[in-house]
Chain A
Amino acid sequence: MKVLKNIQILEDKCVGCQACLGACPYGAIYMEGKKAKIDYDKCTLCGSCISKCKFEAIKIEKKAGFKSAVSLEEAKGVWVLAEQKNNKVQSVSYELLNKGRELADDLRVELTAILLGSDIKEEAQCLIHRGADKVIIIEDTILNHYQSGTYSAVIAEIIKKYKPEIILSGATTIGRSLVPRLAIKLNTGLTADCTALEIDKEKKLLLQTRPAFGGNIMATIMCQNHRPQMATVRHKVFAEAIEDQKRKGEIIEEKPSSELLCSDIILKDIVEEIEETINITEADIIVAAGRGVGTKENLSIIEELAKALDGAVAASRSIVDAGWIPYSHQVGQTGRTVCPKLYIACGISGQIQHLVGMQSSDVIIAINKNPDAPIFKVANYGVVGDLFKIIPALIKRIQSSSK
């Protein structure tokens, strides 16, 4: 096999400090004598080691293999892909406008939102009130409901026409199905599920930070030679832009090529399934239950607390697997990632698989019998005790205040 040495350790610079060994997620660096060496069979060129070397002894050579559909020179402006369901702009879009405004101001460029659907002009106005300078709307009945093939074809065409330098989308089921398609169609890069975004002042590039390895490490990613730089952004990480009804902006109506307005799939039905209270990804307050609640019947106490707080009910994997509550409530690695203002973990021990789905919540309260439960390591407030005593007392306290 031909060995491509895109990565090299510069022996004259390597001091043998071994910092890079620990940085490699693949165990591809080893010591030979007093110098670090790369195991080329294991190295995936992920780049994790580069920033860990204080002596600039590790070099990765990278060429831009292909060109993006939008050229570096022409790309200008920040875009937000707004999301609508039942003709209502979703709150994640307002979060994107807040961050997008900041990025656009840093770059001194315009902020544009794009919205697809039918009969959406009024909603387009809401996007202007929340910070967009321009809104591009594309109206057709076929665009009423999200569909991967049609949406990606139509949006790719508009992007090629207007050539933005940055595109933000929600890391929702729509965003995470749509934007990967745009990345391939436009020959450009995409970073998934970002939790921090900023402009590198010198290079004028978008620094995209996201959790990886189940949230155990954070990585900052750049897309240097391709445009637009695209990111999907985790819901609830950024605050919504504040509404200003006096704000003025321009609404541009675009008509896509007619051959794009067809669909390769048929939507037969939409079934709304969240039974109790609200959708966990949208909730500001989540009350979550784990095995510590004991039985399916005991879940009623969790539901009652959620109701008293206008919150949603979530669950650990074990009680979903036990069939006590539907999968759509599961938080964690194999379930959903949530980011509410308050997460109350009741009888959840806090295995790492659960923690990765909720540890970016603003405030975490944990109630558990076991003082050594790992959930207490991430909790702002911990209570070691019997949830069947504490929760009813808390519900009573909440109810007495609302009377």
Chain B
Amino acid sequence: MLNIVVCIKQVPDTTDVKIDPKTNTLIREGVESIMNPFDRYAVEEALRLKEQHEGKITVLTMGPPQAESILREAISMGVDEGVLLSDRAFAGSDTWATSYTLASGIKALGEFDIIICGKQAADGDTAQVGPGISVHLNIPQLTYVKKVEKLENDLITVERLIEEGYEVIESKLPCLMTVVKEINEPRIPSLKGMMRSKKAEIKKLSASDLDVKAEYLGLDGSPTQVVKIFSPPHRQKGEMLEGEVSDIAEKLFSVIKEIK
């Protein structure tokens, strides 16, 4: 019996977030909130581990009340239970306070064997919360996992992506892993799953349900602070090359020569 906890996040669909070039502000109209794309791979990997080894999967998120929708989505994929950590006291959390709060949520759930997170969230792109949780829980961390090779006798062997290729590492359970896209192909929810997710009860926990200290929560528990936000420098208008193929090749060659 494996107890698996998957930490997921609701994010704005970043492909829709754009800057209005005239007003220099974010255009939000039509921007949907979705499950962080990397978290789908985490949910799918949990489902695959459960299929092979039996067990229970809990998805956990910290966020506003409407973040419930991504928990239901995970349930529709086959996850057993959804837990929402929601409290105004959590607002303004940077990765420090977020990992503290999620770790406290995991402790409140009881026993666990494997924590799975997506590699990073698509809004912040920090990749810091997974490792942070593992330190708070004092368990080994396996980042950038692209394959689970073996899981038996409380030992897990994984392949983790590095710049040159991958490493094969073995860890004791319990542990935390963050997964990359290559690990699997997330499933589409079944009709039965969707029906179940509609009726499923979402467990809601606030700060008072957790064994937490107020000074580590939310804005006050966050060492970093955003002081400015602006649109990225626009790339200057490029030059379109026209003419005969040989002329274009000559021009490209001179561009390349200058760089090299």
- Residue numbers of A with Cβ under 8 A of B are 1-4, 6, 19, 21-27, 40-48, 50-52, 60, 62-66, 68, 85, 148-149, 152, 172-174, 176-177, 180-181, 183-185, 187-193, 207, 211-226, 264-274, 279, 281-282, 285, 309, 327-328, 333-335, 341-342, 351-353, 359, 362-366, 376-385, 389-390, 393-394, 396-398, 401
Q: Interface stretch among B49-57, B68-76, B156-164, B187-195?
A: B156-164
Question: Is the Cβ of B228 less than 8 Å from the Cβ of A219?
Answer: yes
Question: Is the Cβ of A272 less than 8 Å from the Cβ of B170?
Answer: no
Q: Which residue of A lies closest to B133 (CB)?
A: A184
Known: A173-B144, A185-B135. Contact between A378 and B227, CB under 8 A? no
Contact residues on B (Cβ < 8 Å of other chain), bracket: 35 or more
A384–B241 Cα gap in the complex (Å)? Answer: 8
A338 to chain B, nearest CB (A): 11
Question: Is the Cβ of B170 less than 8 Å from the Cβ of A265?
Answer: yes
Most buried by B among A270, A351, A359, A362: A270
- Hey, which chain A residues are within 8 Å of B123, CB to CB? 25, 212-214
Q: Which residue of B lies closest to A215 (CB)?
A: B232
- Hey, which chain A residues are within 8 Å of B226, CB to CB? 46-48, 50, 219-221
- Hey, which chain A residues are within 8 Å of B256, CB to CB? 285, 309, 342, 398
Question: Is the Cβ of A389 less than 8 Å from the Cβ of B219?
Answer: no
Most buried by A among B17, B144, B249: B249
Whether B87 is near chain A, meaning CB under 8 Å from some CB there, is: yes
Whether B82 is near chain A, meaning CB under 8 Å from some CB there, is: no
A83–B182 Cα gap in the complex (Å)? Answer: 26
A183 to chain B, nearest CB (A): 6
Question: Is the Cβ of B15 less than 8 Å from the Cβ of A352?
Answer: yes
Q: Which residue of B lies closest to A340 (CB)?
A: B259
Question: Is the Cβ of B229 less than 8 Å from the Cβ of A6?
Answer: no
Question: Is the Cβ of B140 less than 8 Å from the Cβ of A216?
Answer: no
Most buried by A among B91, B127, B144, B231: B91
Question: Is the Cβ of A180 less than 8 Å from the Cβ of B131?
Answer: yes
Whether B225 is near chain A, meaning CB under 8 Å from some CB there, is: yes
Question: Is the Cβ of B141 less than 8 Å from the Cβ of A65?
Answer: no
- Residue numbers of B with Cβ under 8 A of A are 12, 14-15, 17-20, 23, 25-28, 31, 37-38, 64-66, 87-89, 91-92, 94-96, 99-100, 122-132, 134-136, 140-144, 146, 157, 159-172, 180-182, 206, 214-232, 235-236, 238-242, 245-246, 248-253, 255-257, 259-260
A380–B235 Cα gap in the complex (Å)? Answer: 8
Question: Is the Cβ of A333 less than 8 Å from the Cβ of B122?
Answer: yes
Chain A to chain B contacts (Cβ below 8 Å), 21 pairs: A1-B206, A25-B123, A41-B64, A65-B214, A173-B160, A180-B126, A184-B136, A191-B224, A192-B128, A207-B227, A216-B26, A264-B171, A267-B167, A268-B168, A270-B165, A274-B164, A285-B256, A342-B256, A352-B14, A394-B253, A401-B253
A149–B172 Cα gap in the complex (Å)? Answer: 13
A401–B38 Cα gap in the complex (Å)? Answer: 45
Most buried by A among B37, B64, B163: B163
Question: Is the Cβ of A390 less than 8 Å from the Cβ of B225?
Answer: no
Question: Is the Cβ of A271 less than 8 Å from the Cβ of B166?
Answer: yes
Known: A22-B27, A213-B12, A333-B122. Contact between A381 and B164, CB under 8 A? no
Most buried by B among A2, A180, A267: A180
B77 to chain A, nearest CB (A): 18
Question: Is the Cβ of B224 less than 8 Å from the Cβ of A190?
Answer: yes
Q: Which residue of B lies closest to A172 (CB)?
A: B163
A381–B27 Cα gap in the complex (Å)? Answer: 28
Residue from the list B92, B135, B159, B253 in contact with A45, Cβ < 8 A: B92
Question: Is the Cβ of A66 less than 8 Å from the Cβ of B216?
Answer: yes
A220–B159 Cα gap in the complex (Å)? Answer: 35
Question: Is the Cβ of A52 less than 8 Å from the Cβ of B245?
Answer: no
- Hey, which chain B residues are within 8 Å of A215, CB to CB? 232
- Hey, which chain A residues are within 8 Å of B65, CB to CB? 41
B222 to chain A, nearest CB (A): 7
Q: Which residue of B lies closest to A382 (CB)?
A: B240
Known: A193-B125, A220-B227. Contact between A334 and B157, CB under 8 A? no
B102 to chain A, nearest CB (A): 12
Q: Which residue of B lies closest to A186 (CB)?
A: B223
- Hey, which chain A residues are within 8 Å of B222, CB to CB? 62, 65, 189
Residue from the list A217, A224, A382 in contact with B26, Cβ < 8 A: A217
Q: Which residue of A lies closest to B29 (CB)?
A: A27
Question: Is the Cβ of B223 less than 8 Å from the Cβ of A189?
Answer: yes
- Hey, which chain B residues are within 8 Å of A219, CB to CB? 226, 228-229
